[in-house]
Amino acid sequence: MRHSRSAVRALSLALLAIATTVTATGCFKRGARGDYALAPEMRPLEVPPDLTLPNTAGASQVPALASAARPAQPAAAQPAQGGFTVSGSRDEVFGKVGDALATVDGVTIASRAQLLGSYDVAYEGSNFLVRVVGVDAGAYVSAVDPRGLPATDPAAIKLLGALKAKLAP
């Protein structure tokens, strides 16, 4: 039995050493400390650092307008294909363009819209708009195809050339 008492004693000492170590390290402490002691809805929100501010690189970039990109040129320097500038207000030039269109042989005006500054015309088998837009130097007269792009077909270029000869000084 003596052997068994020394074995129990050694086992007791080992258990006491383990219990002391566990208690000293805090493994069995009761209750949480700090923010974790609060109820879950009361704890502060933890947000990763890269999510605290939004990424604004490339945000709110406004594309350049086509009209702002076109440099202002005098009427004589602009090609007839791209349009031309006439001095006067938009409404005055719109009336002059209507009178000039009426004198060009082969032009049929399907409709006119003074608020939009446009004439829907047919000329030499082509249909397009003749537009009058107010600019700093007066009014800009151009031809626009059904897609809304500058008209580049020969009939539109020819009609703009005729209008320019009648309207531009």
Structure-block tokens of residue 37: 């002691």
Can you give the pLDDT at residue 79?
Answer: 40
CA distance 132 to 145: 14
Overall pTM surpassing 0.85 (yes/no): no
Can you give the pLDDT at residue 40?
Answer: 78
Q: Can you give the residue ranges of every domain in the chain? A: 2-46, 73-167
Measured between alpha carbons, how far apart are the two ends of the chain, in Å? 132
Can you give the pLDDT at residue 28?
Answer: 53
Contact between residue 100 and residue 166 where contact means Cβ atoms under 8 Å apart? yes
Multiple choice CATH, 73-167, 3.30.310.170, 3.40.50.300, 2.60.120.10, 3.30.160.40: 3.30.310.170
Can you give the pLDDT at residue 77?
Answer: 38
Residue 150 is given by DSSP the state B
Q: What is the pLDDT tens value at each position of the chain, 169 positions in all?
A: 556 777 778 778 777 777 777 666 665 555 556 776 778 777 777 777 666 666 667 666 666 665 555 554 444 334 445 788 898 899 999 999 999 999 999 999 999 998 888 999 999 988 999 999 999 888 999 999 888 888 888 999 999 999 998 887 6
In sequence order, which residues have a C-beta less than 8 Å from that of residue 99 and are 6 or more positions away? none
CA distance 93 to 13: 110
